[in-house]
Copies of this chain bind each other. A is one copy, B any other.
């Protein structure tokens, strides 16, 4: 359980194998987001056939609806949503800190107003740990204090220090819940510290003195800071993160972000962009984005992406997909979401193959050049 093997490295890029209670994840890997216990618009069988190895569930959303007790009574998150593979749950930290004006932070907890019914709720390190335990995910995340990408050094330091103190509280609660039993859920810490390298280093050092974690996440990136800043922080962390532990870059990303992250040693990614873009009719291809509503697609019998092996591209024409969006038929959202998820999953698979071959950097550079300069844009 919770075993990670580094299969190969190529520069800072890594190919690994992560063994979890509900299955094995070959990295680098993209994790689709199942906010409410369903990857938006998709059947779990479609997510599986798109090649996803692990999905994410949102503690904040599942706590509000249907409530972790309902999920637990219906057999846990996997059985509830008919996903037999591994599940990672976030802690709700990102969501409650995003509720600007609707939440109050104290050292004890974050009090917030539910976006569903306006009721007053609280999440604390203990509560977030208990919820994730009830959900039954393979990997639970620590409750952390997330600050915006433009936060002052003072605020970034405050969030980082508080996240360390909260990690300790999460760990204590998690161990109590585990109660000496077999390890069925891992708790992963989150490196914070905003855009400041020294704060990031102190965060990581603090994490490593507080336990022997089976994986480590990097949070508080892709939250408004410029892309080069994110890359700089990842480059700073890559050599000091324990090489024998998987690294999860939270909330990232788009296709280019995946390759940039992999090049800087990241193993796991999650992002809602695949399904959100899918719902808006925006599809990724190797040569850039395609607007599925575009008039030029009207009479096209070609697949959305001729290089793609997803169910959508193997089955339907661009002309048909465009028609579905024009008439607002929800099958369209689903078909483009399937494509976008497969696109990111396949990018992870291809990156892994290149890392194992030792050709990642050349391939990645060529891929990015084609994507950014692509004819499809």
**Chain A interface (Cβ within 8 Å of chain B)?**
36-38, 40-43, 61, 65-66, 70, 73-75, 80-82, 298-299, 301, 315-317, 319-320, 322-324, 326-327, 329-331, 333-335
User: Do B80 and A320 touch across chains, with their CB atoms under 8 A apart?
Assistant: yes
User: Do A326 and B70 touch across chains, with their CB atoms under 8 A apart?
Assistant: no
User: Do B315 and A74 touch across chains, with their CB atoms under 8 A apart?
Assistant: no
In the bound complex, what is the Cα–Cα distance between A317 and B43 (angstroms)? 14
Q: Are A70 and B331 CB-contacts (below 8 A) given A82-B315, A315-B82, A316-B82?
A: no
Q: How far is the CB of A220 from chain B (nearest CB, A)?
A: 27
In the bound complex, what is the Cα–Cα distance between A326 and B64 (angstroms)? 11
12 contacts between A and B (CB under 8 A): A36-B323, A36-B327, A37-B323, A41-B329, A41-B330, A42-B331, A61-B327, A66-B323, A66-B326, A73-B301, A82-B315, A330-B330
User: Do B324 and A74 touch across chains, with their CB atoms under 8 A apart?
Assistant: no
User: Do B74 and A320 touch across chains, with their CB atoms under 8 A apart?
Assistant: yes
Q: Are A65 and B301 CB-contacts (below 8 A) given A37-B320, A70-B319, A74-B320?
A: no
Q: How far is the CB of A188 from chain B (nearest CB, A)?
A: 26
User: Do A317 and B74 touch across chains, with their CB atoms under 8 A apart?
Assistant: yes
In the bound complex, what is the Cα–Cα distance between A301 and B75 (angstroms)? 8
User: Do A324 and B38 touch across chains, with their CB atoms under 8 A apart?
Assistant: yes
In the bound complex, what is the Cα–Cα distance between A330 and B331 (angstroms)? 10
Query: What are the residues of chain B within 8 A of A319 when measuring CB–CB?
Result: 66, 70, 73-74, 80
Query: What are the residues of chain B within 8 A of A320 when measuring CB–CB?
Result: 37, 74, 80-82
Q: Lowest 6 CB-CB distances: which A-B pairs, in order?
A: A36-B327, A66-B323, A74-B319, A38-B331, A38-B329, A41-B330
Query: What are the residues of chain B within 8 A of A43 when measuring CB–CB?
Result: 331, 334-335
Query: What are the residues of chain B within 8 A of A330 when measuring CB–CB?
Result: 40-41, 330, 333-334
In the bound complex, what is the Cα–Cα distance between A48 and B150 (angstroms)? 52
- A70 is contacted by which of B82, B323, B329 (Cβ under 8 Å)? B323
